[in-house]
Structure 1
Amino acid sequence: MIGRMLLIGFPNEDINENSEIVRQIKSYELGGVILFDRFYSDRSKTKNISSPKQLQRLTSKLKSFSTKPLLISVDQEGGKVARLKPAYGFSQTASAKQISALHVEEAKAIYKAQAQMLKKSGINCDFAPVVDLAVNPKNMVIYGLERSYGSDSKEVVKYAKIFMDSLKNENIFSVLKHFPGHGSSLGDSHKGFVNISNTWSEIELEPYKELIKSNDISMIMTAHVFNSQLDAKYPATLSYKVNTQLLREKLGYRGVLISDDLQMKAVSKHYSLKEIVALAINSGVDILLFGNQLATQDVDELIEVILSQVKSGAISQKRISESNKRIEELHKKRKKL
């Protein structure tokens, strides 16, 4: 049950029954994997993606080694955030900012083509679309990289919905990010603590409110942003006030909540592994993401750390069961790939 709550990065372009990731998938029934094209520390080295054929081979092997539905995920937003790049033989997709200038029919055609490319590659979960509002021109992580559809939440919802529908038509899960809003931030949570207390406003919740009402969300990703307006102590990823009281109770979200990468410096610099997993799970997070890009996390150790805290009562078994139930419901919703 703990294994089902983990989504893990691994360093191979190809795998076989002796690969470490295969052992982990089989031993723990891992919830999923995340694929990257390059290593974060060495951009010249290929990690998991080098060509369409290679990626098809890798994803079909991953599925064959898993007895339970496995999330095979990537960050494929379009524009600068794309793991499937033209340089490796994949099609280019426009950035969110570029898409927002297009007619709805053009946007649909572009996102349909991208979803079909993901489906053909064996990807069944895309960490997109971004529904952060472009409210801060000094924001380099969202605004600067053209990852937002704009500052008007109606426009953001309109284009995000097209993206989500395109993925849904190919039986691919979409993941809205980054809750409760990363668009007003000044810092990068990959590198350290990001405080949005003075820049964030409630308008950043609007896209979530609208899309939750539509009852069409597969998953939401919670962000490593600290906002004293919402929680004076913890960043969103580790905050019960943000993830349970705000997102679930106030906004009425019932689906799966996934963390942003828990190896990002915004949390890993300030909390121990033991604290991170207990706070995240207790806050209402269902899937813990360890991309193994910014650090290397031993999965056996990770499972032991979580298990020991369930045994000690620091994490309730009820929370583990709740998350497993949500994950199961998620897979039931989707037609068999």
Structure 2
Amino acid sequence: MKYILILLLCIMTLDAKEISDEKLKQLIGRMLVVGFDESSVTKESQIVKDIVRYDLLGVILFDKFYNDRDKTKNISSPEQLKKLTTQLQSFSKKPLLISVDQEGGRVARLKEADGFEAFLSAKEVSKLSKDDAKKSYDRLSKMLNTNGINCNFAPVVDLALNPQNKVIVGLERSYGADTNKVSEYAGIFMDSLREHNVISVIKHFPGHGSSLDDSHQGFVDVTRTWDKKELEPYRKLIEANKVDMIMTAHIFHRFLDLKLPATLSYKINTKLLREKLGYKGVIISDDLQMAAITKHYSLEDTILYSINAGVDVLLFANQLASNTPEELVETIFHLVKYGDISVERIMDSVERIEKLNIK
């Protein structure tokens, strides 16, 4: 790790023209988490070739295809999953970030029907004692670790402020409307994940619980519904030094940024999250193939805005659309070569990423 940080500092002093194209593309690859379609891989699999070629940071796994819930994508049983994650790690030069959404309740990629233990939703967990919540999350975290998952896109720290909210409140993904309770139970989940060598990702900054619409489907404006107390769980958990990663929301708030949604906003990711709330860790985008982004921005603009906004890791789940790692790396590469994104900006992200304790 010390050698990597020294190398990064040396590279940061160089101009883009002084870094080989191959090295620059590998540095860019460290900023990508992507989805792929297979439930088993070999050295000939395209995702493996991309991991090796671009030094990809990680992958995201799903049980089913988004548009065909009867078709297996990456996860079908504990035995199959353990074999897949072992295969993926064996081909990566560095520990690979293997991620899922395993919140509990209806948001679970490791499902009871496929032989995994079922867990309660955040709403139901919030009714448990703190001791019972810890026991439940310890079992969930152990299950992830046992099956080779080292990153969980959880917990949700959105506040249940809007009863009509379908994507958070309706799916019981929130611990409630009280900032202290949300912070407390999310912290219990995060502690369990960390104890089992699984990186946690709190979401969706700056708060999705007051929204009326679903960013999977299109534009989401929270200007009239958002409350500044939605920032409180982030502030509390950052101050408690529990946060590994924070995921952005594709929501729009005209008083936080007059033009851009949160994921693409420098004002929200850098000025608010980093400077005002004091967050120094990794920021990861929500899936950049969601309609809230793709209906309004080109791939090039999405990448340009998000990286310059301060996002460190770009998530392309390849469930709602399809973008190859080659396409993504080449797009970022040319933006750097044209001077639209600086090498220093890339290196800032890579330095934060390399400090993640990926095991």
Question: In 1, Cα distance between the equivalents of 2:117 and 2:310?
Answer: 37
Question: In 1, Cα distance between the equivalents of 2:295 and 2:94?
Answer: 34
**For residues 304-315 of structure 1, what are the structure 2 equivalents within 5 Å?**
304-315=330-341
Say which of 241, 265, 276 aligns to 2:291: 265
Question: In 2, Cα distance between the equivalents of 1:299 and 1:63?
Answer: 18
- Superposed displacement of residue 268, structure 1: 0.6
Question: In 1, Cα distance between the equivalents of 2:230 and 2:257?
Answer: 16
SS of residue paired to 1:303: helix
Residue of structure 1 equivalent to 2:18: none
Residue of structure 2 equivalent to 1:98: 124
Q: Deviations over 1:5-34 (max 9, x none)?
A: 000000000000000000000000001000
Residue of structure 2 equivalent to 1:148: 174
- Superposed displacement of residue 215, structure 1: 1.3
- Superposed displacement of residue 325, structure 1: 0.1
SS of residue paired to 1:36: coil
Structure 2 letter corresponding to 1:135: L
**For residues 203-214 of structure 1, what are the structure 2 equivalents within 5 Å?**
203-214=229-240
- Superposed displacement of residue 4, structure 1: 0.3
Q: Deviations over 1:85-106 (max 9, x none)?
A: 0000000000000000111111
Residue of structure 1 equivalent to 2:55: 29
Residue of structure 2 equivalent to 1:109: 135
TM-score, normalising length from structure 2? Answer: 0.92
Question: In 2, Cα distance between the equivalents of 1:166 and 1:286?
Answer: 25
Question: In 1, Cα distance between the equivalents of 2:240 and 2:98?
Answer: 25
- Superposed displacement of residue 229, structure 1: 1.5
Question: In 2, Cα distance between the equivalents of 1:117 and 1:305?
Answer: 37
Question: In 1, Cα distance between the equivalents of 2:251 and 2:87?
Answer: 36
Structure 2 letter corresponding to 1:243: N
SS of residue paired to 1:276: helix
Question: In 2, Cα distance between the equivalents of 1:129 and 1:98?
Answer: 14
Structure 2 letter corresponding to 1:259: S
- Superposed displacement of residue 69, structure 1: 2.0
SS of residue paired to 1:72: strand
Residue of structure 2 equivalent to 1:135: 161
- Superposed displacement of residue 301, structure 1: 1.4
- Superposed displacement of residue 299, structure 1: 1.6
Question: In 1, Cα distance between the equivalents of 2:325 and 2:133?
Answer: 40
Residue of structure 2 equivalent to 1:14: 40
The 10-residue stretch of structure 1 (199-208 or 296-305) with the greater mean CA deviation from structure 2: 296-305
Residue of structure 1 equivalent to 2:278: 252
Is 1:71 the counterpart of 2:94? The answer is no
Question: In 1, Cα distance between the equivalents of 2:134 and 2:340?
Answer: 46
Residue of structure 2 equivalent to 1:159: 185
SS of residue paired to 1:143: coil
TM-score, normalising length from structure 1? Answer: 0.98
Structure 2 letter corresponding to 1:136: N
Q: Which runs of 5 or more structure 2 residues have no equivalent in the other structure?
A: 1-26
**For residues 286-301 of structure 1, what are the structure 2 equivalents within 5 Å?**
286-301=312-327
- Superposed displacement of residue 251, structure 1: 0.3
Question: In 2, Cα distance between the equivalents of 1:290 and 1:226?
Answer: 20
Structure 1 letter corresponding to 2:125: I
- Superposed displacement of residue 142, structure 1: 0.4
Q: Highest relative contact order (Cα 8 Å, sep 6+), 1 or 2?
A: 2
Say which of 271, 274, 279 aligns to 2:300: 274
- Superposed displacement of residue 48, structure 1: 0.1
Structure 2 letter corresponding to 1:83: R
Is 1:175 the counterpart of 2:175? The answer is no
- Superposed displacement of residue 302, structure 1: 1.2
**For residues 35-54 of structure 1, what are the structure 2 equivalents within 5 Å?**
35-54=61-80
Instruction: Show structure 1 runs of 4+ deviating over 3 A.
Output: none
SS of residue paired to 1:178: strand
Question: In 1, Cα distance between the equivalents of 2:170 and 2:30?
Answer: 35
Question: In 1, Cα distance between the equivalents of 2:139 and 2:70?
Answer: 28
SS of residue paired to 1:183: coil
- Superposed displacement of residue 70, structure 1: 1.1
Is 1:218 the counterpart of 2:244? The answer is yes
SS of residue paired to 1:330: coil
Question: In 2, Cα distance between the equivalents of 1:121 and 1:193?
Answer: 36
Structure 1 letter corresponding to 2:92: S
SS of residue paired to 2:98: strand
Residue of structure 1 equivalent to 2:219: 193
Structure 1 letter corresponding to 2:343: Q
Say which of 286, 289, 303 aligns to 2:329: 303
Structure 2 letter corresponding to 1:196: V
SS of residue paired to 2:191: helix
Question: In 2, Cα distance between the equivalents of 1:243 and 1:216?
Answer: 19
Question: In 2, Cα distance between the equivalents of 1:304 and 1:111?
Answer: 40
Question: In 2, Cα distance between the equivalents of 1:223 and 1:142?
Answer: 12
Residue of structure 1 equivalent to 2:11: none
